[in-house]
Amino acid sequence: MIPSRLGKWSEVLATRSLLWRLLSESLFENRGRYFAAISAMVLVAISTALSAWIMGEIVQAMTHPEDRLRVFLVAGAVVAIFVVKGLSSFAQTVLMARAGNRIVADKQSQLFRRLLNQSIGFFNNTESSQVLLQVTQSAQMARNVIDIIVTGFVRDLLTLFGLIFVMFYQQPVLSLICLVIGPAALFGVRLILVQVRAIMAQEMMGIAEIIRVVQEASVGARVIKAFALDRLMADRMDVAVRQVESRSNKMIRLESATSPLMDTLTGVAIGAIVVLSSSNLFGQEAGTPGQLMSFVTAFIMAYEPAKRLSRMRVSIESGLVGVQMMYNLLDAPLTMTEAADATDLPEGKGHLRLDKVSFSYTGATSVVNDITIDCPAGKTTALVGPSGGGKSTLLNLMLRLYDPSSGSVSIDGHDLQQATFASLRRKVAYVGQDTFLFSANVIENLRVARQDATDAEVIEAAKVAHADEFISQLPNGYQTQIGENGAFLSGGQRQRLAIARAVLRRAPILLLDEATSALDSHSETLVRDALERVTAGVTTIVVAHRLSTVLRADQICYIEAGRVEESGSLTELLAKGGKFRALYDQQFQESA
C-alpha cells in the first residue's frame, strides 16, 4: 500500500513540476498578450454574471410596464452588458490565439535548434518519425495545455464564482442545497483521470507509427514496387490507423464522460429547485418571481463553465503527454559540444593527423584501434580495404561528427576537440557516396556551400566539376527545380553537383567517401576527372573500394579490422606483395 501511495505522490509531483515549468517559461515570455487576454476574460466573467442578475430586473420591469424609466434603464443595461461581453469575448479569443501561436512557433524553433545541435549519434539512435512527432505535435499540445489552464482558471472559474454570487444573493438557501453537486462531480472526474494518460501515450506512439509507415512508403517507393510490398505496407498502415482510431475513441469516451455526469446532477438540482421554490422552505418564502428567475438563470449559466472545469483535469492529463515528449527532446543531452575554451582554427595548409586514435560506437567493440595516419598538406591520402574496416568512421572523426575514445585528431597541429565547430567546418569539404540535395533549384543547392558566392563563382565551380554541361541543358538551367533529394537528376548528375558544391566551398581539406562507387563507367570517368581537378593542391582523404580511383594517390593506407595493416605509395605497396597487392591483383584481373 505504501509503495503504491508513494508512486501516486511521485506522479502528482512530476505533473506539477512539468506544469510549472511550462507555465513559467511560456507565460513569462508572452506575459503582455496573456495579461491583455486575462483582462478580457475578467470582463467576460463579470458581464456573464451581470447577464444572470439582470434577468431578475427584466422580470420585475415586465411586471410593472407603467414604470417607463425602469424599463428603459433595464433595456439599456442589457444592451451594455451584452456589448461588453461580445467585445471582451472577441478580444480574449484573438489575444489567446496570438499568444498560443507564438508559443507553438517558439517551441518548434527551440526544438529544431536543439536537433541541429545534436550529434550524428543522436539521429542514428532516434527514429525520424519520433522526431517529427515531437517537433510538430508536442508544441501544439503544450499550447493547448496553457490555453486550458488560463481559460479554466481565469474565465471559467471567475464566471462560476460570479454566477454563484448571484445565486447566493438571490436565493442563499437554495444555493447551499445546489452545491451538493460539486463533490459528486469531482469524485466522478477522479475515476476518469486514472486511464487518461496511459491511453494518450499509446495514441501518440500510434501516430508515430503512422508517420513511420508514410516515410518508408515515400522513401522506399522503388523497393516497395519492385518487391510487390504494396499489400504489406497497406496492412501496416491499416493496423496503425485502427489502433489510433481505437485509442482516440477511448479518449473521447473518457473526456465526454463528464457531460452525462454533470447533466444528470444538474437535472436533479433543477428539479429540486422547482419543488423547493414552490414550498415554504425552512419557514422562508421563495422570494419574488424576479429573484427566482435570476437564480435559475445563474444556475443554468453556471452549468457550462462548471462542466468545462470538470473536464479540465482530463484535458490537461492528455496534453501533458505531448509536453513531456517536448521536454524529453529539449532536455536530451548534447553528446557533441564545443569545449568551454574552444578557439578558431588558425590559417594553415591543412595538415591533418590522426594520432593513436581508437573509437567505438556503442562503447563495447572498437571500430578503430590505435590508428595513426599522417595526411600531408596538399597531398592525397587513400583509405582502402574490406568493408567494415573503419574507413568511413575515420572520416566521421575527421569531420568531428564523433570524438575518439582515445587519441587525437588534429589539423595543422591543433586538436579538433579544442576548436570551434564553425572554424572546423570552414576547413573541410565533404563529398559522400549518398549525395543529399535540397528540394530547391540547382543554384540554391550549390550556394549552400558558400552563401556569399556570386552567380559567376557558382557557375565556375560547376564547370570545374563537369556539371555545367548538363545544367545548361535543363529546362530552366541553374533555376531548375530538382525535386526532393535531386529526384529529377541521375546519380552521376547528383554526384557532380556534390563535387561542385565542394569546389565552391574552397576548403583546404577535402574528404571523399566512395564518391564514385554507385556510378556507371561514363559518369565515373567524368566524376573522376572532376575530382582530379578539384584535389590539386588540396589535402584530400579518399575512401574507396575501387582501386582505379586512387592509383594516383600520394599515400595509400590499407585498413582492416580497425587497424592500418599497410601504408605507402602505390609502387611501395605493390612491391611489398601484401594484402594491398592481393586486392589490387583481384580487382584488375576481374576487370581484365
pLDDT digit string (tens) for 502-554? Answer: 888 888 898 888 877 656 677 667 767 777 777 778 898 988 887 877 888 88
Sign of the C-alpha dihedral, residues 535, 537, 538, 541? positive
State the cell numbers at 441: 533549384
- Is the predicted pLDDT of residue 576 greater than 80, yes or no? yes
Q: Tell me, what's the pLDDT at 13?
A: 59
Q: Looking at per-residue confidence, does 280 or 205 come out higher?
A: 205
Residues 306-319: what's their mean pLDDT? 75
Local confidence band at 592 (pLDDT 50, 70, 90 cut-offs): very low
CB 194 within 8 A of CB 11: no
Residues 397-407: what's their mean pLDDT? 88
Helical spans, DSSP H, in 386-431: 391-398, 421-427
* Burial of 216 per CB tally in 10 Å (0-12, 13-18, 19+): middle
State the cell numbers at 83: 456589448
Q: What fold does the segment set 352-591 form as a domain?
A: Rossmann fold (3.40.50)
pLDDT digit string (tens) for 348-362? Answer: 888 999 999 998 877
pLDDT digit string (tens) for 362-384? Answer: 766 788 888 999 999 989 999 99
Q: Looking at per-residue confidence, does 234 or 443 come out higher?
A: 443
Q: Who contacts 534 (Cβ-Cβ below 8 Å, separation ≥6)?
A: 464, 465, 499, 502, 503, 510
**Residue ranges covered by each domain of the chain:** 17-330, 352-591
CB 308 within 8 A of CB 154: no
Q: Tell me, what's the pLDDT at 2?
A: 43
Local confidence band at 557 (pLDDT 50, 70, 90 cut-offs): very high
CB 77 within 8 A of CB 57: yes
Which class in CATH covers the domain with range 17-330?
A: mainly alpha
State the cell numbers at 263: 447533466
Q: Tell me, what's the pLDDT at 203?
A: 65
CA distance 199 to 320: 12
pLDDT digit string (tens) for 135-155? Answer: 888 888 888 888 888 888 888
- Is the predicted pLDDT of residue 160 greater than 50, yes or no? yes
End-to-end CA distance of the chain: 79
pLDDT digit string (tens) for 10-44? Answer: 555 566 778 888 888 887 888 888 889 889 889 98
- Is the predicted pLDDT of residue 273 greater than 50, yes or no? yes
* Burial of 552 per CB tally in 10 Å (0-12, 13-18, 19+): exposed
Q: What is the largest CA-CA distance in the chain?
A: 123
CA distance 139 to 137: 6
Phi and psi torsions of 535, nearest 5°: -85, -5
Residues 72-99: what's their mean pLDDT? 87
Output the average pLDDT for the chain: 79
Q: Tell me, what's the pLDDT at 422?
A: 87
CA distance 440 to 479: 9
Phi and psi torsions of 449, nearest 5°: -70, -30
C-alpha torsion angle, residues 282, 284, 288, 293 (rounded to 10): -20
Q: Tell me, what's the pLDDT at 555?
A: 92
- Is the predicted pLDDT of residue 4 greater than 50, yes or no? no
